[in-house]
Chain A
Amino acid sequence: MGWILVTSATVILFLQNYPLYIRSVPTENELKFHYMVHTSLDVVDEKISAMGKALVDQRELYLGLLYPTEDYKVYGYVTNSKVKFVMVVDSSNTALRDNEIRSMFRKLHNSYTDVMCNPFYNPGDRIQSRAFDGMVTSMMIQVC
């Protein structure tokens, strides 16, 4: 269950609660973002367990706002294979609506799927796909 963290800068993709992919736009405070994401993993787990078995629905993949912190909002998304995507967005970035977050997660999911399709990629490895990077970069540029 990877998770991916995106903040108005950070994107972290985690698998089994260890990160598969981390990306932050503002490179400072990265540790802070990492911390936030780690704490949010608990929230994600909570939501997953609460959902029960019927996890297949796309809607359920999107967990929505996990919890708002002082300055940031954390959004979660989980795939069917328990890969978690966590996105931390700056609260000042109020322009982001739920739909946009959803679409971003969808894109992330699609890109992640493409990465997985690569036979050279071993699940559990850090994601080093350039295409994935490119996608995340473009997404973050869009956000920030």
Chain B
Amino acid sequence: MEGLTLSDAEQKYYSDLFSYCDSESTKKVAAHGRVLELFRAAQLPNDVVHQIMELCGATRLGYFGRSQFYIALKLVAVAQSGFPLRVESINTVKDLPLPRFVASKNEQESRHAASYSSDSENQGSYSGVIPPPPGRGQVKKGSTSHDTGQPRTSADQQEPVSPVVSPQQSPPTSPHTWRKHSRHPSGGNSERPLAGPGPFWSPFGEAQSGSSAGDAVWSGHSPPPPQENWVSFADTPPTSTLLTMHPASVQDQTTVRTVASATTANEIRRQSSSYDDPWKITDEQRQYYVNQFKTIQPDLNGFIPGSAAKEFFTKSKLPILELSHIWELSDFDKDGALTLDEFCAAFHLVVARKNGYDLPEKLPESLMPKLIDLEDSADVGDQPGEVGYSGSPAEAPPSKSPSMPSLNQTWPELNQSSEQWETFSERSSSSQTLTQFDSNIAPADPDTAIVHPVPIRMTPSKIHMQEMELKRTGSDHTNPTSPLLVKTADLSEENKINSSVKFASGNTVDGYSSSDSFTSDPEQIGNNVARQRSHSGMSPDNTAPPPPPPRPQPSHSRSSSLDMNRTFSVTTGQQQAGVVAQPPAVPPRPQPSQAAGPVVHRPVDADGLITHTSTSPQQIPEQPNFADFSQFEVFAASNVNEEQDDEAEKHPEVLPVEKASDPASSLRVAKTDSKIEEKTAASAPANVSKGTTPLAPPPKPVRRRLKSEDELRPEVDEHTQKTGVLAAVLASQPSIPRSVGKDKKAIQASIRRNKETNTVLARLNSELQQQLKDVLEERISLEVQLEQLRPFSHL
């Protein structure tokens, strides 16, 4: 024997057949009996059969060993394909279809085949044709009784062999496999309540009738060459077939008829149909299912609730466990209800099961709802309702090869189906959609986030400042009043939070405009502001150029620098610019720091003062530390002066103002930086000398003041008077860099604060150092004295 190479499909198929033939499990098959039947089923002329047997060596051995058997099968395939029988052809012929053992030469044969195929081996036959819904139970009987003369024994024997060649195609291997598989579970043939399959097979029935040993056969078998039946099912005959199926008794008779018709249909189908997987639903079946669906749920787009489905499928008399499994498989979206697609899949599975097919572990692709295609199905006559349940002739999946195309059957209700399908998809995705939707909801509103006050204090002020800035930009910087007024109004309107922003803007604006007014009345402001100013000035941050509060918006001409520090650092002379530049943008930061800054720096330069004031006002918005208005005023004044390029003058003015403002600022800052206030106050003088503060944005204080004023206003009425000043100052102040993001402002504010703190601490440190020096000096002097005295003492 030549070596035989088999493809996997072939391998499986052959092994199944061999197993089938090897009824005694002796690993060798007698030449007679099943093998013979099998070969006969191959529809080959006898001489060919003999030739094959010779070639494979069985004649020599007297029996078919496995290898011989395989070779024989291969030769059968070769012969069926029309190739000359030669030993070489075993391996040379490529892509040989599996040998088909179809007894469909005539009804009888088909019956035989059917019977055979009914055996588990029958995969091929069913290509896609599901035995008509076996009248459950009944059909079985029918088939059993329906022995139209089929040799039962032969049927039994044939089980595997004659996989009825799927009329349509080469025996799909999967069915083969499947069948085999089904055989296993079946264990005993009679185990399964093959009642179902019975009818199923009944069409074949006739052929198998005998086979009914059928039932036994059934149980184990994959749908016997139901193809024919199925086919017929698909065609008009199926209808009748179905009918027959149901009524058990009737089935018998009808089965025969059906078979006959089925045969015809089968052949027809064989020619027409394509390969399918065994789980494909034919059009007729689909139609049938749909009708069944309608009986339960008129709306094809609707669901069948679980309970109704349960009832319905319970009628199939399948064990609950299997039904449960079928449900698991078919309820695709796990919602406890069946859509049309799911229902069809379930029905299909039930039919398959009844026909002896084992249930798959996973839903075959062809049954997946999404795969179901709504094509126009040949409008097979509606099956009678009875058929409906009894025999969902779901095509017993003769072959498992999922072939979606199979589902693509013309479907009269294509539209409907599509809708259903879509519905299904929608359903299936609904949860996802919902989920997505929900998830979308959450993030929804980034803008709102913007709106909501970022915890940063600066934020609102920033926003406001920005608003103000915008307004200011809109308005002429040179005309601070208008924007200033606006700002003022805004300031007043807004609450503290906003006011801070306004302040910033106002400061910037007012800073400029009010500078003049400030000069005129710096003291007034100073009183109120002074404390604050001083406080703010005292803030340790004074040393550090009060970090420019939010950079004044570039739009603001004066505050173009937007960075008080920058501004100040530029030149004192540029205080104006600085002022302008900085109304420390809504001093996110505690004004005290800024205030302190300016205060501290005041001595150094007016800018510092201004800065201080500006910062303080700015801080005000941030904190209740309203920048000292006094500071602001002073600052404003100084700013004004600065604007007038008269910083120096301002200094002294600022100083007093500062001092005055210190308390004010302290008030303001008290809230946040009481300590700083003290320090600032203390350090102010020290700092004055030190004048370390660079021109901390002079405008800052002004601005801040404006801002703080605004804030204060709502909070502290005492500053109302300064409002005007502040307003002016603010107006003159460089626009607060509202544009700066809130975060920026916040960061800047915090930076400023920290700087202020640093400054304060640094100042303190220096003071302490100074004290230490002093003390050391004293000590030294005392020691010297002591020394001097000592000799005396010694003396």
Contacts and interface: CB of A to CB of B under 8 A. Distances in A.
A129 B324 contact: yes
Given A119-B306, A130-B361, 13 more contacts: A114-B334, A117-B306, A117-B336, A118-B328, A118-B331, A118-B336, A119-B327, A120-B310, A120-B320, A129-B324, A130-B325, A130-B328, A131-B328
Interface in B304-358: 306-307, 309-310, 313, 320-321, 323-325, 327-328, 331, 334-336
Nearest to A130: B325
Contacts of B324: 118, 120-121, 128-129
A119 B313 CA distance: 11
Interface in B455-488: none
A121 B331 CA distance: 13
A131 B329 CA distance: 9
A17 B307 CA distance: 27
Category for how many chain A residues contact B: 10 to 19
Interface in A121-142: 121, 128-131, 134
Interface of B: 306-307, 309-310, 313, 320-321, 323-325, 327-328, 331, 334-336, 361
Nearest to B309: A119
Contacts of A129: 324-325, 328
A112 B307 CA distance: 19
Nearest to A127: B324
A12 to B, nearest CB: 20
A131 B306 CA distance: 18
Given A128-B321, A130-B361, A117 B310 contact: no
Nearest to B321: A128
A134 B310 CA distance: 24
Given A114-B334, A128-B321, A130-B361, A119 B310 contact: yes
20 contacts: A114-B328, A114-B334, A117-B306, A117-B334, A118-B324, A118-B327, A118-B331, A119-B306, A119-B309, A119-B310, A119-B327, A120-B310, A120-B320, A120-B323, A120-B324, A120-B327, A128-B321, A129-B325, A130-B361, A131-B328
B615 to A, nearest CB: 48
Contacts of B306: 117-119
B336 A119 contact: yes
B293 to A, nearest CB: 16
Contacts of B331: 117-118
A54 B361 CA distance: 39
Nearest to B307: A119
Contacts of B328: 114, 118, 129-131
| Main SS class of interface, B | helix
Contacts of A134: 361
Contacts of A128: 321, 324
B329 to A, nearest CB: 8
Q: Which 7 A-B pairs have the closest CB atoms?
A: A119-B306, A120-B324, A119-B310, A117-B336, A118-B327, A120-B323, A114-B334
Nearest to B304: A119
Nearest to A128: B321
B323 A117 contact: no
Nearest to B319: A120
Contacts of B336: 117-119
B336 to A, nearest CB: 4
Nearest to A117: B336
B324 to A, nearest CB: 4
A122 to B, nearest CB: 8
A120 B325 CA distance: 9
B364 to A, nearest CB: 15
A121 B307 CA distance: 11
Pick from A114, A118, A131 the residue with the most CB of B within 10 Å. A118
Contacts of B321: 128
Nearest to B328: A131
A130 to B, nearest CB: 6
Interface string A105-116: 000000000100
B718 to A, nearest CB: 52
B349 to A, nearest CB: 13
A114 B332 CA distance: 11
Point out which of B310, B328, B335, B361 has the most chain A C-beta atoms below 10 A from its C-beta.
B328
Contacts of B334: 114, 117
A121 B327 CA distance: 10
A135 B312 CA distance: 29
A103 B324 CA distance: 26
Contacts of A120: 310, 313, 320, 323-324, 327
B328 to A, nearest CB: 5
Contacts of A131: 328
Nearest to A116: B336
Nearest to B322: A120
A134 B328 CA distance: 12
A118 B331 CA distance: 8
A130 B358 CA distance: 14
B263 to A, nearest CB: 37
Nearest to B320: A120
Q: Which residue of A117, A120, A128 has the most chain B CB atoms within 10 A of its CB atom? A: A120
Contacts of A114: 328, 334
A117 B335 contact: yes
Contacts of A118: 306, 324, 327-328, 331, 336
A118 to B, nearest CB: 5
B376 to A, nearest CB: 32
Nearest to B361: A130
Contacts of A119: 306-307, 309-310, 327, 336
B34 to A, nearest CB: 34
A118 B320 CA distance: 11
Contacts of A117: 306, 331, 334-336
Nearest to B314: A120
Contacts of B310: 119-120
A130 B327 CA distance: 11
A114 B331 CA distance: 10
Contacts of A121: 324
Contacts of A130: 325, 328, 361
Contacts of B361: 130, 134
A120 B331 CA distance: 12
Interface centre among B310, B313, B334, B335 (most CB of A within 10 A): B334
A120 B346 CA distance: 13
B431 to A, nearest CB: 13
A44 B306 CA distance: 33
A120 B361 CA distance: 17
B303 to A, nearest CB: 12
A121 to B, nearest CB: 6
Nearest to B359: A130
B175 to A, nearest CB: 22
B130 to A, nearest CB: 22
Interface string A78-102: 0000000000000000000000000
B669 to A, nearest CB: 46
A134 B323 CA distance: 18
B325 to A, nearest CB: 6
B200 to A, nearest CB: 21
